[in-house]
Structure 1
Amino acid sequence: MDWLRDHLWEAWLGTAIVLALAELLSLDLFLLMLAGGAVAGVLTALVTDSVVVQVLVASATAVLLLGAVRPPLVRRIHGGPDLVLGPASLVGSRGIVTEPVSEHRPGRVKIGGESWLAVAEPPESVIAVGVTVEVVSITGATAHVRPVSEPRPEELR
């Protein structure tokens, strides 16, 4: 116990290192904030010998880091665009009608270089060959499309 009292800054530093290494296993940024509090304990131990002051400063720093620094970091690290895969990624893209499309008589639409079975939305419309359409939804292997006014040049290839 005397060694610990004589080497408080080393004990705080050891605690900070152990917490930082444990953070590598959890990746939740909780233990890293506690390690930050322990670093504040190291700095306080270099200034004063009072264990109570060191614990108070380390605790306050850890709580401050947990409340103010961790939430934005977690949002930034774990946030981002949603990954859309498969046919759902075609929703919103445009294509060209290759066979006439209506509600009761499905036609064909070329979307992203692939030919898709397509039905018209709204249901009462009929879409002629060569018209540019936008994919509203995908149901199974059928694209629900609606006509758009102007084609994009990259979709005409």
Structure 2
Amino acid sequence: MEFIQTIEQFAWIGWLVLILVFLVIEMLTLDFTFLMLSIGGIAGLGSDLIGAPVWLQVIIAAVVAAVLVLLLRPPLLRRLRRGEDPTPTNVAALVGLSGRVLSTVTPHGGQVKLANGDTWTARPDRGAELEPGTVIRVSRIDGATAYVRPQEEEPTA
């Protein structure tokens, strides 16, 4: 019984340590999850300071953190990411790009020159060989290999 009283007497120290740990993790991740957990810890600390039992402190902290994570975090993330450039970059920007076959593209390899000027090792996306000069479109990138398919002809008016 004396052990439980000691825990209840010094629970505020545990809450402070927990809050500080969550804040440090939040500074490293910048994802607002641990910020919400630290605010829940502040609620637990506040309930300790007004004399609530430890079990109630934990419940209050958990409920406050859960409500914040579910209700406040999503709009904060949307607001934070509102100014991001939606343009795909790096490998994602290559998917859908057109080009021409330089050397015969077989399931074992080949080369294509893309519209951005890059030359890539390529394989056919659907298994058919592609002859030099064929207009292609990149369907996916796997490592340093572009998987390509023949570009469909555009209907002329």
TM-score scaled by length of structure 1: 0.49
Specify the structure having the higher radius of gyration (Cα): 1
TM-score scaled by length of structure 2: 0.49
